[in-house]
Structure 1
Amino acid sequence: MSPHSHELPHGAILVLGAGELGMAVLRHLAPRCQALARPLAVLVSPRSLQAPDSAQARRQAELRAMGVRLLPFDLQGGSEAALAALLQPFDTVLNCTGFVAGPGTQTRITGAVLAAGVRRYFPWQFGVDYDVVGTGSGQPVFDEQYAVRQQLRAQSATAWVIVSTGMFTSFLFEPLFCLVDFGGDVVRALGSWETRLTVTTPDDIGRLTSAIVLETPAIRDRVVYVAGDTLSYGRLAEIVEEVTGRPFRRELLTPERLAADLAGQPGDGMARYRIAFARGDGMWWDKENTYNAQRGIATVDVRTWLHAHGGLWHSRGTPPGA
């Protein structure tokens, strides 16, 4: 346990990043912070403020309307010391950046957070259980995520909370990930049909994370598990057939097949992800034991998500995201 008092300060909160997950967190956190009179800011790239594209301009207008302060900083070019200086006024930092600035981003940000003396930190760990995965999963990004946990546990000055969410629900249907092919009516399994995985929508992650941030007594120095759904690849195939009302051919991608695919294309990041998710361990947890289930908070499961995104599969040959 960290040496902080039982009541964390009710001071300023900073969210790093205004991408898909950052915006989901901010949309749920902003009204609650306003009600509590807690200042809320978001870190964005200077370029996005100076010359925003249309999507960035829309997000920035939405953020300002929610009362969120926009704070520019170049995560790729800025030094760790400069980032630490910028973080010092904030009591709580939520990291929603992903790996936008390349390898080493997360260990560098964590170093800046600790140097700044931030009182509580939510690292970019919105994914799988890196304690179980450990190192050597075949996905270098996972190795870095495990290293971040080691950084945080090696100190006691900054309280930390890790929110484990599994993959984004939509990623099940991402064409490049190759699990569900609506055009060809194929569902693929990684490793085995019994291998399981946990998925959560960004909106549910944002809603649950905002609740975790503001819960009293404060949550600290622990991993909090959330889930929209936990299912096997076999169950995924059944749900796809039940929702679409048509049969899908099933194709098993064995560990040997996945390893051969990566050997043929060693630079393919998705091939590395498929190998990692084929292992099963650390990629799932029982929904019944999650933060949302224990508090009776409803989340979107895979069946509900598919029904809400019927445009993906109503027309054959229309891939997800088209």
Structure 2
Amino acid sequence: MGWFLRRIAQSIVMLWVVISLVFLSIHFVPGDPVELLLAQDGATPDPAMVEVVRGQLGLDRPLHEQYVKKLGDLLRFDLGKSIVDESSVGKEVARRLPRTLELIAAAGLLSLLIGLPAGVLAALRPASLFSRMANLASGTAQSIPVFVIGTLFVITFAQLLGWLPAGGFVAFERDPAKHLLLLIMPATTIAVGLSAIVFRITRASMLDVLPLDFIRTARAKGVPRRRVILQHALRNALMPVITVFALQLGGLLAGTVLVETVFNWPGLSGMLVSGVNARDYPVVTGVIVVVAAFYIGLNLLVDILYGLTDPRVRK
């Protein structure tokens, strides 16, 4: 129990550090958000109006007062209001976050369906043609930028073959079939690189487990080969895969910017980019806090799983 509480406390401290760094870095970025807000057609805004708006938004207060207020708001789960249009950041995040999570979940599921079986088969026959071709394919998939893969998918499957729409978004409740069609290409684009990572980790982990004594003992006892592979080898090889996979999913929450841009998928990343361009402090802080909380939460979950499966970790 003490180990569990220590991990939660460490996660809270990490989240506080992220919030503090984001707050300070945003305020030290060149450019006045109020001037950007009031500037129209390149015209210089009236300095008096700039001061009035800055006072209305609370940006004229000392930095430490703004910091304390931001921490208090976040403790109440209040992400603030956008400087640009005064919309609720929390409501906009709640509207966009499920779209990005859906994209990541679909890509993660697809990558597991591809990477896990391929990694197991490649480990069982490491010198086979399949293993060599799979290694080559995974290295190629990891080396190609995601926006290149997305662009190739659009050209091939949308423009040349006409099988799938090029991009966009339709709510699932409005048109489930079209929603799923629009989800296929962005999710597959992300899954290409992620499945390559899952494949490599699974193959390496299986190669480490297969020569161990308990595997040889199970085979000597006459345990069926399928059971040896699935229940003994793969089960013990999954922990590194789970760790890397969870960390990759956490990184994808903020790393889907290019994919959402290529396919015009209105998720959380587009909100972050527009907030950075407009120097919209509450929007940028709110999005990054949500992303950081998600990422730290995944790390905490992986640590807890490790601790439950391996008592040595708790010690």
Which TM-score band (shorter chain)?
A: under 0.3
Query: What TM-score do you get using the length of structure 2 for normalisation?
Result: 0.22
Q: Which has the higher contact order (CA 8 A, sep 6+)?
A: 2
Query: What TM-score do you get using the length of structure 1 for normalisation?
Result: 0.22
More strand by share: 1
Indicate the structure (1 or 2) with the bigger Cα radius of gyration.
Answer: 2
